[in-house]
Chain A
Amino acid sequence: MTQLALVIDLNVCVGCQACVTSCKQWNTSGSAGPLADFNPYGADPTGTFFNRVQTFEVGEYPNTQTVHFPKSCLHCEDPPCVPVCPTGASYKRATDGIVLVDYDKCIGCKYCSWACPYGVRELDEERKVMTKCTLCVDRIYDTALPEAERKPACVLACPTSARLFGDIHDPASAVSEAIRKNAGYPLMPEWGTKPSNHYLPRRKTAVRIHEDELVRSDNPLKIDGLLPKPAKAEPSLDDVTSW
């Protein structure tokens, strides 16, 4: 079993929105049709996006952290949006675990978006069908692309490598290792949806200084300066005591 997913490192995300724009660029240009924008330069702009970067402030001044939080479809292992679809347009691929919408079958009833607690499905107002992150399924298997580019557009665009892509069911994959070693967690675990995308928490890079690093263990009497010169006849142990 393969379950492709993104692992997003909140520790290094700087909220630059590069993943948002690259996602929009790739997915609005594909054969599946445009992600429509309305009034892009007007008073009340609106449009369809698969990926959003949000910003949260955690804590109270002066002890605050600004957390940039990218959010796209989590490709749940138990997706609540799939069984509610009356037409079967919303489905989860058995081969790689990607949750997709068949735009030719979708009737635009919006029921799947009601059934998603994360709010990652957006109805395209022009095509009148439900749209969502595809993990760039039209990219990651494209053999015409160089192997290094067979990744979702957002992953390639991220300047700080905050987005990792891979198979979370393979314990040796980079994403599994990142989740394991850096305490990756899923969102809203209370609903039992088992999101495949994981988030790596903020981590403080702390320098640990041990006591014996502050006090020289070879100077127990704390006498500064050069050590007394041993006599020439005395045996020498190292460069310090030898002539």
Chain B
Amino acid sequence: MRPDLSVLLLTTLIGAGQGLYLALVTVQVYALFGLLPAQDGRAFFAPGSAIALVLLVTGLAASFFHLGRPERAWRSAAKWRTSWLSREVIVLPAFIGLVFVSGVAHFLHYGPVLAELPSGIPVDATVVLGLVGTVLAFALFLCTGMIYASLPFLREWASPFTVVNFTLMGGASGFTLAAAFSVWTAPSLTPFLAAWALILTLLAFAGRLASLVRNAKLRPKSTLQTAIGIKHPRIVQTSQGFLGGSFNTREFFHGRSRGFLRSIRWLFPVAAFAIPAALLAAFVAGAGAVLLPVAAVVQYAGLLAERWFFFAEANHPQNLYYQAIG
């Protein structure tokens, strides 16, 4: 498949935004139970939500460049009963709205106590908003992953790894970003966030390597024999029916050499997982906090390469019909 920059930006940016918001909620829940020092809404949660909001809105804006008719994008909420894309189109703005409301509530210190836990801990409005946001963030990971995982004949995508890895990679990049963000806003939290970022980065590394191994073992279900329905071991296309290009020759092929594809396959695990994990581990082991922003930037660039490879690796069966110009 052709990796479209707008979709690469959409999936990586909203993943990081979701992960960052989940990191904020994690801090808040830990602080609720007294496991971490409580943070001021205006100094920590509101700017954190603002960064998440910028990531999410930028991702949403990028997605419009994928559309041929962006002015009709509002129509795409219609078929949520059958289409994962439609579900994403509903959940993403809902999540953006919730992050906005939650950030504003933190900024205004608006926190009426809505309930009380049996142990006497008060649950205020920002906690409830955070929990709803958590549900929406995971729902969004599910929708984004299922857009790809629900296409059975794109076999590189049609596996639970797609959803799990989107979640883990979004979480890893978001927590790394949160760790870097806390260097300036809440240094007492930085070791906690960096440790979680390291764990999530290693989990995402494992998940992505597992999917690479799985995809390397795939044998195509569709062949030229099933494509044209003729039983013979040797079938060669001599003409695809036209001399120039078409939508079919552009949309379903990455347009780069095999060598380029192979080099990205080696590059992205290093940039998205190995280097950030090493930097995070070095920080946890006592190195300087300057490593964390570096880790966040390297990881994001690595995830862009990962997403490029995710698309380029997927081999659409329609390519069987477009192999020879003649």
Contact = CB atoms under 8 A, between A and B. Distances in A.
Interface of A: 17, 20, 39, 44-49, 52-60, 66-67, 69, 71, 80, 82-89, 105-111, 113-119, 121-123, 125, 127-129, 185-191, 199, 201-202
A201 B229 contact: yes
A82 to B, nearest CB: 8
Contacts of A115: 151
Interface stretch (B160-168, B236-244, B296-304): B236-244
Contacts of A46: 244-246
Contacts of B79: 83, 85-88
Given A86-B79, A188-B226, A109 B67 contact: yes
Interface stretch (B52-60, B68-76, B122-130): B68-76
Contacts of A125: 247
B68 to A, nearest CB: 2
A222 to B, nearest CB: 43
Interface in B225-264: 226-230, 232, 234-248, 251-252
Identify the 5 closest CB pairs spanning chains A and B, nearest first: A108-B68, A119-B318, A128-B68, A45-B244, A86-B86
A122 B79 CA distance: 22
B139 interface: no
Contact of A111 (B73, B75, B85): B85
Interface string B117-159: 0000000000000000000000000000001001111100000
A83 B319 CA distance: 22
A117 B246 CA distance: 16
Nearest to B1: A114
B229 A54 contact: no
Contact of A86 (B68, B70, B85, B321): B85
Interface string B82-114: 111110010000000000000000000000000
Contacts of A111: 83, 85, 147
Contacts of B240: 52, 54
Given A107-B67, A109-B67, A119-B248, A88 B242 contact: no
Contact of B151 (A58, A106, A107, A114): A114
A108 B151 contact: no
B224 interface: yes
Contacts of A80: 151-152
Contacts of B317: 117-119, 188
A37 to B, nearest CB: 9
Nearest to B320: A119
Contacts of A44: 244-245
B294 interface: no
Q: Which secondary structure characterizes the binding site on chain A?
A: loop
Interface residues of B, number: 58
A65 to B, nearest CB: 8
Given A116-B318, A117-B317, A128-B69, A86 B239 contact: no
Given A54-B321, A88-B78, A119-B316, A67 B69 contact: no
B322 interface: yes
Interface of B: 1, 66-70, 72-73, 75-79, 82-86, 89, 147, 150-154, 221-222, 224, 226-230, 232, 234-248, 251-252, 316-319, 321-322, 326
A69 B228 contact: yes
B222 A117 contact: yes
A114 B154 contact: yes
Given A54-B321, A55-B326, A56-B236, A188 B222 contact: yes
Contact of A191 (B147, B152, B326): B152
Contact of A114 (B69, B243, B316): B316
A55 B78 contact: no
A34 B131 CA distance: 51
Nearest to B81: A83
A123 B247 contact: yes
Contact of A107 (B70, B232, B237, B316): B70
Given A86-B78, A114-B316, A187-B229, A52 B244 contact: no
A56 B69 contact: no
A12 to B, nearest CB: 16
20 contacts: A46-B244, A47-B246, A49-B242, A49-B246, A54-B237, A58-B234, A66-B238, A67-B228, A71-B241, A84-B84, A84-B151, A86-B76, A86-B83, A106-B72, A107-B72, A123-B251, A129-B68, A129-B69, A191-B153, A191-B221
B76 to A, nearest CB: 4
Contacts of A17: 241
Contacts of B153: 117, 191
A71 B321 contact: yes
A47 to B, nearest CB: 7
A21 B69 CA distance: 28
